[in-house]
């Protein structure tokens, strides 16, 4: 392997002789970032080594900047007082970190006590150029929550949260994106299952098309999630808090076995789907999206606003709806808490909508005058 010697030489050229005398933040800034293949692998290897040393307490503690210290206090508030999920807590932290850096919080001797509305507006305008209205709504809500947190602690002027307005978004103004079922089958047939990556990608996409999983649910599956003897699969559902147990179909079981036979047998990870390139480890949700984009392009499937791998979830819902599956059954499969969430698919069921359409009134003939 060329990456390890390359990484060693690279760090030595930067004057690093002992990793234990460095902080994780400093080491990350010293990793190679060139576009060539070996530096890319060396960068990934370096990140894995840093994570391992951090977990075992082998690196120097990184002193917290004022931004990071405030974010840690805010995250404890979100966890202990608001009771937010870890993933939601993390999204809040990312948004607030961008906000604090935009107002140069580290260089403010008075902290947030002299915060002006113009600074909040500048941050919102800058973010608004890069995200849509729905995302902007979430960012505005996070910013209001943070400003109220500061106000309650006496660290910001009262009433600033009232100046953060959310863009208007009307519920149901956009239709969900769903592929015709014949294109879903074409996508699955296009996947080359003669390689490890192809077997993994096929199994991931088939799970979404069969059970309507979200990409995060696919990435979080463990080896223990599958009970081979009883022929069931336990799927984590973070949004509803409890897993759902589904029957393991023959097609899905065959796809998983094909992948597991090619999966490295010496892996110490219990996660089901792993990266195919070194360093080995569990995949992220983005790997599922990348797999979908790659094979969809190869199959020639593309339309505006396809929405990535999530459109397979919508496609399954529409396929079941056209087979006259009860709406409640579809909602239970998709993990919806209310029928209203599943009802969005009814708007795409055009043939049934034709039956409930009212006839157009006949135009009244204009009176003809001599």
Phi-psi region of 93 (alpha: psi -120 to 50; beta: other; left: phi over 0): alpha
Instruction: Indicate if 310 belongs to the active site.
Output: yes
Eight-class DSSP state of 191: S
Written as six digits, the tokens of 89 are: 């807590």
Q: How many CB atoms lie within 10 A of CB 60?
A: 14
Catalytic residue chosen out of the listed positions 92, 214, 263, 319:
214
Out of 200, 263, 310, 319, the active site residue is: 310
Decide if 47 is catalytic: no
Tell me the chain's radius of gyration from C-alpha atoms.
Answer: 26
Residue 56 is among the residues annotated as catalytic for this protein: no
Choosing from 200, 313, 314, 319, the catalytic residue is 313
| DSSP per residue, 31-96 | S---SSHHHHHHHHHHHHHHHHHHHTT-SBPPPPPHHHHHHHHHHHHIIIII---HHHHHHHHHHH
Is residue 104 part of the annotated active site? The answer reads no
Phi, psi of 255 (to 5 degrees): -65, -40
Residue 226 has which token pair? 């599958």
Among 92, 263, 314, 336, the one annotated catalytic: 336
Task: Indicate which residue of 239, 261, 277, 337 is catalytic.
Answer: 239
Specify whether 214 is catalytic: yes
Return left, alpha or beta for 31; rule: phi > 0 is left, psi -120 to 50 is alpha, else beta. Answer: beta
Helix and strand numbers (H, E) in the chain are 16, 3
Active site residue 91: no
Which amino acids are annotated catalytic? 214, 239, 310, 313, 336, 345
């Amino acid at each position: 392997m060329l990456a390890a010697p390359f990484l060693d030489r690279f760090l030595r050229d930067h004057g690093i002789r002992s990793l234990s005398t460095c902080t994780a933040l400093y080491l990350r800034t010293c990793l190679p970032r060139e576009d060539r293949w070996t530096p890319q692998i060396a960068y990934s290897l370096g990140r894995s080594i840093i994570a391992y040393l951090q977990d075992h307490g082998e690196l120097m503690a990184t002193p917290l900047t004022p931004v990071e210290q405030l974010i840690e206090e805010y995250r404890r508030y979100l966890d202990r007082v608001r009771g937010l999920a870890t993933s939601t807590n993390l999204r809040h932290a990312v948004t607030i970190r961008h906000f604090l850096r935009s107002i140069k919080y580290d260089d403010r001797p008075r902290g947030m006590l002299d915060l002006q509305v113009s600074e909040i507006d500048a941050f919102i305008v800058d973010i608004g150029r890069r995200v849509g209205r729905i995302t902007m709504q979430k960012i505005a809500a996070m910013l209001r929550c943070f400003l109220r947190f500061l106000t309650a602690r006496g660290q910001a002027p009262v009433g600033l949260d009232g100046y953060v307005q959310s863009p208007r978004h009307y519920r149901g103004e956009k239709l969900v994106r769903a592929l015709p079922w014949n294109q879903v089958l074409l996508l699955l047939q296009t996947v080359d299952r003669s390689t490890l990556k192809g077997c993994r990608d096929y199994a991931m996409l088939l799970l979404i098309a069969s059970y309507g999983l979200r990409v995060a649910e696919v990435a979080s599956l463990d080896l223990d999630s599958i009970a081979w003897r009883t022929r069931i699969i336990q799927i984590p559902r973070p949004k509803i808090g409890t897993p759902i147990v589904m029957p393991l179909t023959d097609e899905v079981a065959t796809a998983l076995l094909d992948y597991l036979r090619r999966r490295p047998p010496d892996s110490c990870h219990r996660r089901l789907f792993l990266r195919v390139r070194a360093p080995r480890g569990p995949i992220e949700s983005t790997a599922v999206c990348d797999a979908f984009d790659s094979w969809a392009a190869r199959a020639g499937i593309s339309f505006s606003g396809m929405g990535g791998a999530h459109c397979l979830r919508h496609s399954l819902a529409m396929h079941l709806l056209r087979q006259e599956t009860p709406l409640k059954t579809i909602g239970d499969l998709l993990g919806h808490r209310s029928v209203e969430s599943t009802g969005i698919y009814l708007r795409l069921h055009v043939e049934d909508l034709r039956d409930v359409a009212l006839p157009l009134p006949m135009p009244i003939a204009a009176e003809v005058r001599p």
